[in-house]
C-alpha cells in the first residue's frame, strides 16, 4: 500500500482538492487498493472544518467526491506516508522544519509542481483570497501535476492494474 499525503496551509482549499483529484485518478485506473491518500495543513486554522465552499463547488463541477475535515500535519505523518507533497514553498519550509523536529530528518518532501518539467520550483498558488477563477486555476495545475506524479509512482513501484 502506497501512502500519499497532500499538504497546504489551511487544509480547506488546495490539499483536499488534490486528494480528491488523486482519488478519482486511482479509481479510474482501478488502483484504489494499492493506495491510501489523505491531506493536512501546516496551520491549525481550520481543524475540524469542511473544505471551503469554493473547493466543494470545484469538486462538484469536476465530479470529484470529497470527504474531508481539516487537520494539521502530525508527527506520525512523517512515519506513515511514503510520499508527502507540499503545495508551496512555505509548506515545504515548514514541513522541512517539522521533519527534523519530529525525528525524520531524512524524509524527502516533494513540491507538487516539480512533477511537471516546466513548472519545477513553482507553487500551487494560494486561492483563499481569490475568486472562482483561482479555484479553476488550481484545479488545472493540480490535475496535470497529479497525473504526472501518479505515472511516476506507477513506474517507480512497477504497479500493474
The DSSP element (H or E) to which 24 belongs, if any, is helix 14-28
DSSP bridge pairs for 38: 5
**For 127, phi and psi rounded to 5 degrees?**
-90, 5
Which of 1, 5, 2 lies closest to 84, judged by CA?
5
**For 159, phi and psi rounded to 5 degrees?**
-85, 140
Residues belonging to the active site: 8, 14, 126
Binding test (CB under 6 A) with ligand 4NP, winner from 29, 34, 36, 45: 45
| Coil vs helix vs strand at 124 | coil
- Closer CB to ligand 4NP, 45 or 154, in the complex: 45
- Closer CB to ligand 4NP, 45 or 62, in the complex: 45
Shortest distance, CB of residue 124 to ligand 4NP, whole angstroms?
A: 8
- Closer CB to ligand 4NP, 31 or 49, in the complex: 49
104 binds ligand 4NP, rule: CB under 6 A = no
Binding site for ligand 4NP (CB under 6 A): 8-14, 45, 126, 128
Amino acid at each position: 500500500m502506497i501512502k500519499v499525503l497532500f499538504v497546504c496551509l489551511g487544509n480547506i482549499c488546495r490539499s483536499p482538492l488534490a486528494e480528491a483529484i488523486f482519488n478519482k485518478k486511482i479509481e479510474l485506473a482501478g488502483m484504489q487498493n494499492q493506495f491510501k491518500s489523505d491531506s493536512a495543513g501546516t496551520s491549525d486554522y481550520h481543524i475540524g472544518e469542511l473544505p471551503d465552499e469554493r473547493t466543494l463547488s470545484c469538486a462538484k463541477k469536476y465530479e470529484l467526491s470529497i470527504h474531508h475535515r481539516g487537520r494539521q500535519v502530525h508527527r506520525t505523518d512523517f512515519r506513515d506516508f511514503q510520499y508527502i507533497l507540499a503545495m508551496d514553498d512555505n509548506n515545504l519550509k515548514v514541513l522541512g522544519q517539522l521533519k527534523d523536529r519530529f525525528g525524520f530528518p531524512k524524509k524527502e518532501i516533494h513540491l507538487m509542481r516539480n512533477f511537471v518539467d516546466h513548472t519545477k520550483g513553482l507553487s500551487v498558488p494560494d486561492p483563499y483570497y481569490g475568486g472562482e477563477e483561482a479555484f479553476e486555476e488550481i484545479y488545472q495545475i493540480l490535475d496535470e501535476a497529479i497525473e504526472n506524479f501518479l505515472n511516476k509512482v506507477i513506474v517507480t513501484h512497477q504497479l500493474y492494474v
